Structure 1
Amino acid sequence: MAQKLSRFFLHPANNQGRVLTTNSKTPQENWQANEPMDPRTVEETAPLLGAEVITTDPRTIIEEREFAKGDPENPLEWPLKFKWLFISILFFMGATVTFTCISPVPIAGRIVQDLSNGEKNKYASVLLVTIWELGEAAGPLLIAPFSETFGRYPVLNVCSVFFTAAAVLAATAQTTPQFILSRVLSGLFVTSNVLGPAIVGDIFEPDMRGSAMSFVMLAPNIGGAVGPAIGGYVADALSWRWVVWMSVLLCATCQVLVLLCFRETYAPAILARKVHRLRKLSGSPSPEGAAQNNSKSRGPEAALESIVRPFLIFKSSIVLVAVSLFGSLTFSHYFNMTTTLPDILEDVYGLQSSQTGMSMLSFSIGSFVGLFICNRSVDRIYVHLTKANGGVGQPEYRLPLMILAAVLAPFGLLLYGWSAEFGLPLWVFLFSFSSMGMILLMAFLPLSAYVVDAFGPYAASAMTGLIVLRCLMGSLLPLSTTPLVENYGFGRAFSVISLVSAAMAPIPVVIMIYGQKLRQLSKYTRNDPAE
């Protein structure tokens, strides 16, 4: 649908104080129709930088509320090659984050033993791996709302600096608590997981978001495959510190790429800066109303408002709570497996740590298969169901693959646990691990696309609720898996986990059927403001 031209001309002589508008849609409807939202229709909790008034001529005040059709500054109308440059940077950032997070997995016990004067501690080894998620749970509480207040670009740059500094702290740690602290800080400043999907929504139309999201989701698989494999071999040949210094180098490279090659993608931020630039060129004073609006949007009140927004969105949306619960539990399976994998491969199958790292490639192979399935199916399913619905698309049309993943996950967990319990051939065990890689990605990618479509301009804040709960479960649930395995063995322990997964399986089915009605209960996902 063509974007509406939203420049309104007010002549001071006879129109002072009068605002003209042709857009009566809600911001959510504008997003779903591929039209920029009008800030005048959004409440104070909306993720806006404030509408401005541009004076380009002393006789005319032009009020810039949305991009004009064909505006080259509109991210949705940027050249496709330019958009994919940004996606490539997000890809590299995601791979770097996962490499930094996962590379210590096969050598966690060695790191703890080295930093604890030769003492082994299983719980410390598990915590060293999963504590990252605790930091990653806290970071989005500020990252997402600040990106909706000040824009994506400054938040990406500031967080990249601190992320690199945390990696340096890990490389120079002298005690286990210091290393664990560095892991918390690293997770705290991760931006790719929360801003990646939001940036995809900033620059791509809905019918192209699935493909772009697939590529962004590919990055963690690359980092997750290369990190443990390199980590095991480098630690055997040199030292585990060399593994961490490799992460530092990758982090610094990301910082340079973001600083030099990235630019702002958040439409309200671009409009606000365009206002400032044009007013400065024209030399005209800022109208009183716009000055007050801008002051408010940049003041402490707006900053506090932006921090609270993710909680308000999460609390108001039963849909977000439900999909977050399902996604978080599904995500915890990854850490349930990776924290038990070294013990299984070394104790049951007699592999070395370097071979353990290489064995994690099987998970990435499964993830690649899942990514291929999603890349070929998510957008096609969406387009097919949209046509069947008279050309009206719904966010729920992203969910069929997630339903399939919900059905398959319990069986994958059972195969993982019992193949280790009975010492089945190594290829059977690795197949179970690989199949879970496919299943988890088939759950994550449609889930992220659903949240972006359903929450539109509030996507970053909505993703915050999902990521916080996901990271808390990813950090804490594996700590309960350790005593389960010690007391009942791998088979029974993962049978319990499988039962919990089966109990959560109906959630995406319910959202698929009733999601459109349930979304009307929240003003952040409501189609009709009158409802």
Structure 2
Amino acid sequence: MDETQPLLQDTNLVYVEREDDPSSKDIVDFDPNGDAENPMEWPLAYKWFISGLLAFMAFTVTFTCVSVVPVASRIVKDLNHGQSSKSASVLLVTIWELGEAAGPLLIAPLSEIFGRYPVMNAANALFIVATILAAISQSTALFIAARTLTGLAVASNVLNPAIVGDIFAKEQRGSAMSMIQLAPLIGGAVGPAISGAIAETMGWRRTIWMSVILAVICEVAFLTSFRETYKVPILRRKAARLRRETGNTSLRTVFDADDGSQSEKFWDAIVRPFTVLAGSSVLQILSVFGSVVFTYFYIMSTTLPDILETTYGLSPAEAGSAFMTYSVGSVISVIICNLTLDRIYIKLRDSNKGVGQPEYRLPLVIIGGFTLPIIVAWYGWAAQLQHPISTLLLSVAMVGSTMTFGFLPFYAYVVDAFGLYAASAMTAVIVIRCLAGTFLPLAAGSLTNKFGYGLGFSILGGASLLLAPIPIFVLRYGAKWRQGSKYTRDE
């Protein structure tokens, strides 16, 4: 599918006939009087069921990802014959992001050619195989390779927002996105707590086998209950059925005007995220901002266990449980986003004579952008000065809260601003985010080793503060800047 094709019209017609284009009578579209095949017209209960299924997979992915955080050093020692390595422990956690950076380059274009259903199921199957490989690994190198492959198979990050865009109207997407984002926060809290406790009793491999079981349950649910949501393959199947029923071989969808081969389309789809990124200055600057914001999750994840175990004397199980404070802060922000994101959008839309703009998703991002650097510095100094553990954990909760404000509404902005290009745009965002999440924590480790936690995190916070004005400029000028890109130009 060529993503440069025109978008489907908002008036969903079965046959669209224009006087200046007689051939348009053969274009197959959705019935404006109601069409059970149109994902936008599916029953609301089923749409929320799909959102719940996506949330379940997001929980499983995050559980699998972060469950190794409090026991990373133990895994390295176990697989390395008793020898520890701080860099290997950090890489064991963050290498997942390198896989996630590569995976969407295949997942997004494949979903735009074949649809969401087959790609999601294939990715889930690979996720299960890779997780099993991690569970049976006998060396650090093999474990890291398995973690990379597991990250590669994560389809939820790029497809979840796109699927929400497939089935929900713009004014309803914020609530659905917030609910889906709530699930990984729960996984981020439960994963470290369970893995820390199990590692002390039954070993770290049992935690990974739990991830395998969760992933299998998810895949069974997707195979049996999920339906195709992407309108391109749905309409193509509809056109094929009508050709058989009517004998009219000229029937086609608006997406079938391109004549390229399947391999050409696939290659075009692979490079399209970079094309979309290169063609949108707004996406470029917001991707940098969002990537730095998200990276603090991995920076905190790779520093907090050492702080809690060496400075405060906690066991791995207790250190793992401490991650719940991060999730509590994040959950509070998700609830706030769920209650306010669509309301803010509607209020700003109404004040603009009823004309909505994707930029109306950004007010909460601005709040997160300016508060996160301050909280990050607080987290560093609380560890440096050995403040009471309650103070440190409060700062961890605030990191989770301000981070969520900084990136969750940004995803809703991408879906709104890029429309049919949302999957490719989200892929570009994820690639940049994952590269930052893989390597910036290593740099953060060097900073804290040289300057200590207090000054080291203050430097990081100061660098983030320089990026904080970006969403303000996009809110103010983004609607005008978007007209310079064919991917975000208002029709």
**TM tier, shorter chain?**
over 0.9
Aligned match of 1:362:
325
After superposition, what is the alpha-carbon deviation per residue over 1:424-444, rounded to whole angstroms, capped at 9, x for unaligned?
000000000000111111112
| Post-superposition offset of 1:418 | 0.1
Tell me the distance in 2 between the aligned counterparts of 1:455 and 1:446.
Answer: 14
| Post-superposition offset of 1:106 | 0.2
Cα distance, 1:267–1:367 mapped onto 2, change above 3 Å: same
- Whether contact under 8 Å (1:224, 1:364) holds in the other structure is yes
Secondary structure of 2:405's match? helix
Tell me the distance in 1 between the aligned counterparts of 2:106 and 2:333.
Answer: 31
Aligned match of 1:5:
13
- Whether contact under 8 Å (1:385, 1:397) holds in the other structure is yes
Instruction: Give matches, 1:367-406, under 5 Å.
Output: 367-406=330-369
- Whether contact under 8 Å (2:28, 2:254) holds in the other structure is no
Residue 432 of structure 2: which of 465, 469, 473 is its match?
A: 469
Residue 100 of structure 2: which of 102, 118, 136 is its match?
A: 136
- Whether contact under 8 Å (2:51, 2:180) holds in the other structure is yes
After superposition, what is the alpha-carbon deviation per residue over 1:495-523, rounded to whole angstroms, capped at 9, x for unaligned?
11101110110100110100001101100
After superposition, what is the alpha-carbon deviation per residue over 1:263-319, rounded to whole angstroms, capped at 9, x for unaligned?
10001111011112232344x263398899489466211111111111110000000
Is 1:149 aligned to 2:113, yes or no? yes
Secondary structure of 1:441's match? helix
Aligned match of 1:319:
282
Aligned match of 2:244:
280
| Post-superposition offset of 1:67 | 4.5
Instruction: Give matches, 1:42-191, under 5 Å.
Output: 62-191=26-155
Aligned match of 1:489:
452
Cα distance, 1:358–1:76 mapped onto 2, change above 3 Å: same
Tell me the distance in 1 between the aligned counterparts of 2:236 and 2:260.
Answer: 10
Tell me the distance in 2 between the aligned counterparts of 1:217 and 1:462.
Answer: 18
After superposing the two structures, state which structure 1 stretch, 378-387 or 484-493, moved more: 484-493
Tell me the distance in 2 between the aligned counterparts of 1:470 and 1:256.
Answer: 30
Aligned match of 1:347:
310
Tell me the distance in 2 between the aligned counterparts of 1:510 and 1:138.
Answer: 30
Tell me the distance in 2 between the aligned counterparts of 1:66 and 1:375.
Answer: 30
Q: Which amino acid aligns with 1:255?
A: E
Tell me the distance in 1 between the aligned counterparts of 2:33 and 2:463.
Answer: 50
- Whether contact under 8 Å (2:235, 2:253) holds in the other structure is no
Secondary structure of 2:83's match? coil
Secondary structure of 2:27's match? strand
Cα distance, 1:310–1:125 mapped onto 2, change above 3 Å: same
Q: Which amino acid aligns with 2:23?
A: V
After superposing the two structures, state which structure 1 stretch, 207-216 or 300-309, moved more: 300-309
Tell me the distance in 1 between the aligned counterparts of 2:372 and 2:60.
Answer: 27
Tell me the distance in 2 between the aligned counterparts of 1:292 and 1:237.
Answer: 56
Aligned match of 2:177:
213
Tell me the distance in 1 between the aligned counterparts of 2:245 and 2:24.
Answer: 25
- Whether contact under 8 Å (1:170, 1:178) holds in the other structure is yes
Q: Which amino acid aligns with 2:135?
A: A
Tell me the distance in 2 between the aligned counterparts of 1:400 and 1:205.
Answer: 20
| Post-superposition offset of 1:468 | 0.3
| Post-superposition offset of 1:150 | 1.2
Instruction: Give matches, 1:250-269, under 5 Å.
Output: 250-269=214-233
| Post-superposition offset of 1:6 | 4.4
Is 1:18 aligned to 2:22, yes or no? yes
Cα distance, 1:297–1:189 mapped onto 2, change above 3 Å: farther
Is 1:457 aligned to 2:461, yes or no? no
- Whether contact under 8 Å (1:168, 1:245) holds in the other structure is yes
Percent sequence identity over aligned pairs: 49
Is 1:423 aligned to 2:383, yes or no? no
Tell me the distance in 1 between the aligned counterparts of 2:255 and 2:182.
Answer: 44
Aligned length: 483
Aligned match of 2:6:
none
Query: Cα RMSD (Å) of the superposition?
Result: 2.0
Tell me the distance in 1 between the aligned counterparts of 2:100 and 2:254.
Answer: 36
Cα distance, 1:98–1:343 mapped onto 2, change above 3 Å: same
- Whether contact under 8 Å (2:13, 2:28) holds in the other structure is no
| Post-superposition offset of 1:70 | 1.0
Q: Which amino acid aligns with 2:162?
A: A
Tell me the distance in 1 between the aligned counterparts of 2:22 and 2:283.
Answer: 39
Tell me the distance in 2 between the aligned counterparts of 1:262 and 1:213.
Answer: 18
Secondary structure of 2:488's match? coil
Secondary structure of 1:393's match? coil
Tell me the distance in 1 between the aligned counterparts of 2:159 and 2:168.
Answer: 14
| Post-superposition offset of 1:445 | 1.4
Q: Which amino acid aligns with 1:381?
A: I
Secondary structure of 1:465's match? helix
Larger radius of gyration between Structure 1 and Structure 2: 1
Tell me the distance in 2 between the aligned counterparts of 1:288 and 1:63.
Answer: 6
After superposing the two structures, state which structure 1 stretch, 305-314 or 112-121, moved more: 305-314
Q: Which amino acid aligns with 1:204?
A: F
After superposing the two structures, state which structure 1 stretch, 288-297 or 400-409, moved more: 288-297
- Whether contact under 8 Å (2:173, 2:412) holds in the other structure is yes
Tell me the distance in 2 between the aligned counterparts of 1:478 and 1:105.
Answer: 13
Tell me the distance in 2 between the aligned counterparts of 1:8 and 1:290.
Answer: 10
Tell me the distance in 1 between the aligned counterparts of 2:375 and 2:249.
Answer: 61
Secondary structure of 1:119's match? coil
Instruction: Give matches, 1:238-257, under 5 Å.
Output: 238-257=202-221
Aligned match of 1:444:
407
After superposition, what is the alpha-carbon deviation per residue over 1:429-468, rounded to whole angstroms, capped at 9, x for unaligned?
0000000111111112110000000001110100011000
Tell me the distance in 2 between the aligned counterparts of 1:169 and 1:123.
Answer: 22
Tell me the distance in 2 between the aligned counterparts of 1:492 and 1:224.
Answer: 27
Structure 1: segments with no counterpart, 5+ residues: 22-61
Q: Which amino acid aligns with 1:109?
A: S
- Whether contact under 8 Å (1:3, 1:69) holds in the other structure is no
Aligned match of 2:291:
328
Q: Which amino acid aligns with 1:160?
A: N
Cα distance, 1:292–1:515 mapped onto 2, change above 3 Å: closer
Aligned match of 1:33:
none
- Whether contact under 8 Å (2:372, 2:402) holds in the other structure is yes
Tell me the distance in 2 between the aligned counterparts of 1:464 and 1:389.
Answer: 31
Residue 301 of structure 1: which of 250, 261, 264 is its match?
A: 264
Tell me the distance in 1 between the aligned counterparts of 2:256 and 2:386.
Answer: 66
